[in-house]
Structure 1
Amino acid sequence: MDRVMLDGNGLGLTGLVRLADAVAGPVVPPGALHRVRRAHESAGRLAAQGQWYGRGTGVGAHRSVAVDPSDAAGHALRLLRSHAGGAGPVLPARQARALMAVRANQLLAAGSGIHPSFVTALTEALRLGVHPVINEYGGVGTGDLTALAQTGLTLIGERPWLTASPDAELPAPVALRPGDSLALLSSNALAVGRAALACHDLEEAASFAGQAAKQAERAAEAYRVVLACELVAAVRALRLGPVEPSAPAFRVAAAALPADMEDRALTGDVTTAMELLPQLADL
């Protein structure tokens, strides 16, 4: 299988689509994962110096509520569970894989403070061809909180993976540490992934539209030839009758087409008839 590099910087549209379509697997440079580990360690040192939003406190309306350090792990789990209430149909595998690819690459930029095991689990899921159950409808806002909470609960082993076969290999469950939940949730990875797929599909449709237009033009030209042949045959047949019709269309066609009724090649007659078609259409 081909490989697409995820390093927090260079993921383009083509690479993202290949990962989403499962025709390529991810590869993460060791240096990129090392940066994530260093950022995680820095975040831990900063968190020890005070109460940071979502890590030492609640979120939203509970942002002023302090979290007891002894309950930090429980707070992280509650944060995922409380945001995972999605509804509606399950997203297609392609969109779920796009979310995982985008979020893994975002986290590899090393600005979230998340533990690197989450990055490893996301890329391992892409490699193994499994994805989380993500509902179509979730929270309203700039972050894809519900989709990422459902993804997070899957990564830690609380929700099942969707697989192509019952005996498919699965990523090992990740240990949830203080700060990991908010770091994972703070993203619009699903919106970015779906927009990228839509952009790619639009480009594909546009390229096929040009081919379709050319084929339609060829079909129209062939139809004009058929009509011209029918016109030549009709004029020759009507000329054999005792009285020629007085219809305007016949008069125009008879005036333009040769009166010679001998057996001969009719290529020139057909060409003349094709040139007459627009004039006859106006009658």
Structure 2
Amino acid sequence: MIPTIPPQRTSASPRGGTSLAARAFRLQQAFATLDGDVQSLKDLAATAGLDEATAYRILQSGKASGAFDQVGRGRYQLGPAAAEIGMRAMTQVAADRGEKAVLADLQAATDAFVWLYALTPAMGVPRRVCVDYAIGDLDTADLGMTVDEVITVGRSLRTGASGRMILAHLTPSMQARVFAEPAPGCAGPGVLSDGELLASLDVIRQQGYALGDQECLSGWASVAAPVMHDGRIFGAVLVLKAADAWPNDPSNLIALTVNAAAELSQEMQQASAA
């Protein structure tokens, strides 16, 4: 049974700008602010701070370029052109801007496996993909899988500290798509039930990190912190350590991971503003 996910509070305050370009951008941002894929003209206009006639003209104009699709009377969704623009933008944001050094420093300080995951859509379901890592002198054979296998398996956001970290920052409709799929068969013995997983999300958002105990791999524990861009989740930094080497007090591991994620978030924000 898919659990009911409570709605999250989002800001509907439009940003400044009265030019046609600014109003079109605000309308596009409204799709990201509102939950769900398909939105009404009324809700889009209200969220963007526009009158319905202006919003309608922008939406109709954007249909020709593929920025918006009309899926019913007065109902719209983002079109394929918007998705392409978003993917290109995030590719530029995620370009190597020094993250390797941040990950290497974190690895040296924790003597653990360090992974950088990014949120990515796959067949309409949010997933995570490993985009970089630092392992120092550690041997991936200890994980029971190769680096390639680590990168390509465990994509589900249902398992692992990094998966739940990203999941906690998604909209309810995106979370529901993740819950609609079963936990992967390769999950470790610590994988959470639907109820436990749902209950952990509010806590994760509030405390700013997630802990995992043998969720993805038997015998391994982890901590993850969010990498954010412009107030939205980009991905997560994960520190993975053997459970028998996990400290009784993980506060230092948590602080190091949270600080590294914050540094990556800051670098992305600065790069975008440059």
TM category (shorter chain) comes to: under 0.3
Decide which structure has greater helix share: 1
The structure with the larger Rg is 1
Decide which structure has greater strand share: 2
More RCO (CA 8 Å, sep 6+)? 1
